Amino acid sequence: MVDMQHSAFTYAQLSTMFMAIKLGGAKSFVRVSGAYDRAMIQQCYDLGADGILVPYVNNAADVIAAVSVSKYPDPDETRLKGSRSMYINIRGTAMKYGTGMAPIGRTQEINKETLLAVQIETADAAKNLDEILAVPGLDIAFVGPGDLAISMGKMQKLGMATFQDEEYLGVLGKVVEGCKANNVVPGFNLLLVNFYESLKDVYLFFKDLIR
């Protein structure tokens, strides 16, 4: 995953990274600045990213906004309100599909392959988990353990003991159960996976972060 939230890569550098990641046989994800940064989200997809990770979502409206710009309009899809625009030029997306031009006739196919992940890392997100996870078009709910602990006020009081706190663990459990109910993949990073043996062989998580 390439981090654009906490780093300063240029879009030209992103394009090169995506090509290298593809040649290595992996999927390319980009952590963008937020759900309402339409330009960054669309640019990342246009350059060839397989998916994006949207930080700091607090409610369903945030997720809906990210889904909208991630998906092309589809008259056969009544649940999603796609608003992604097509750029008629040779771009990363075009080369990714081997067409040499923008894949106008393949928007529905691209919609199915476009991945969208959000970060559960705020106390508000924890309160609104049910509505967040029920948004059509969401593929992965990734827990940001440190920011979640800080937003809940746990880290300031308990330090690393937060990861044994019943309320904090309850949120993690709700993420897992809510994801199962909505066919969403629950994501955990190495900090939580190392802390809880039960997660090691069960749930997917991002291993490498490029900053």
Do residues 132 and 120 touch, judged by C-beta distance below 8 A?
A: yes
Strand partners, 210: 2
**Distance of alpha carbon 74 from alpha carbon 2, whole angstroms:** 29
Among 6, 127, 157, 211, the one annotated catalytic:
6
Do residues 136 and 67 touch, judged by C-beta distance below 8 A?
A: yes
Contacts of 192 (CB under 8 A, 6+ apart): 143, 145, 163, 172, 199, 205
**Distance of alpha carbon 84 from alpha carbon 110, whole angstroms:** 11
Do residues 147 and 171 touch, judged by C-beta distance below 8 A?
A: no
The three-class DSSP label of residue 52 is: strand
Is residue 6 part of the annotated active site? The answer reads yes
| Catalytically annotated residues | 6
